[in-house]
Amino acid sequence: MSPTAARRRSTEMSLGTDQRIEVRKTYKLYIGGAFPRSESGRTYEVTDQSGQFLANAALASRKDARDAVVAARAAFTGWSRATAYNRGQVVYRVAEVMEGRHDQFVREVAAGEGIPDAEAAAIVDAAIDRCVWYAGWTDKIGQVVGSSNPVAGPFFDFSVPEPTGVVAVIAPAASSLLGLVSVLLPIIATGNTAVVVASEQRPLAAVTLTEVLATSDLPAGVVNVLTGRAAEIGPWLATHADVNGLDLTGVSLPQWPDLERAAAENLKRVRRPEDHEPDWTASPGLTRLLTFLETKTVWHPIGV
């Protein structure tokens, strides 16, 4: 083939006149604001509801879980001390970037959950709206649950909510985006940092969300996302001494007692899974905002 013909052939292929070979993706983990591969080098195939290949995802190990906890702990001081108003701005920015990736989220939710595009679009809209909702609560929750307490003496007495610390989350298995956002956002909106184990069978919306987080204003390490088997990673997170809270929403009912007993080896706040699949489209209320908050009472002499 002559050089001219070869160039023409290359141009035709680049313009799609011949059948194009799809670029197969291998998604990585999200730890400390970076996208590392699993230290184990393992991956697994993600398929749609009909068994068709969608992508490869990293299969996280317990070493990856430890690295994620280290990153979350390092980010906790700065994030928890940020003003509530600033945290609200950051969470709202996440909603803005998600809006820009709306069509991609729709494709991934539809493929992963096996639902029509119109239904997937409604779920994506609800997930973005949920981000805006939690952004609005960051500087209000303290006023709702905090108080100035009457005391018998020349003192001011205040009860102030504070974040628990590093929270490990087993994400909902069925609702790959709306459920994930509904579990994760109240944790970080109140000043905690998070290590999330994404849905094993439906991780694509979660890994796309990590790209949103990385390109928004969220500081590195505030959210860390692992893909793989919750049955493998969950017990290590439950016993980790530097994890302060454990959200078991995505754990099946027969498994959660073992994880709760493992968490009892050191002081942890544990949220148990519900006995039925939650209605993620319903109003979330304040329950999840309060789950990983603790109350500190401060006494101060009057006039000093």
- Tens of pLDDT, residue by residue over 154-197, are 888 788 899 999 999 999 999 999 999 999 999 999 999 999 99
Which whole number is the average pLDDT over 95-116?
96
Cα separation, 130 vs 182, whole angstroms? 7
Segments in 172-301 forming alpha helices (H): 178-189, 204-214, 230-239, 256-263, 287-291
- Tens of pLDDT, residue by residue over 193-245, are 999 999 999 999 999 999 999 999 999 999 999 999 999 999 999 999 999 99
What's the CATH code, domain 26-301? 3.40.605.10
Which whole number is the average pLDDT over 255-260?
92
Which are the contacts of 69, defined by CB distance < 8 A and separation ≥ 6? 166, 168, 195, 237, 240, 242, 243
Which are the contacts of 291, defined by CB distance < 8 A and separation ≥ 6? 186, 245, 247, 269, 271
- Tens of pLDDT, residue by residue over 43-81, are 999 999 889 999 999 999 999 999 999 999 999 999 999
Answer whether 141's CB lies under 8 Å from 153's CB: no
Q: CA angle at residue 58 from 50 to 107, to 5 degrees?
A: 40
| Domain boundaries of the chain, sorted by first residue | 26-301
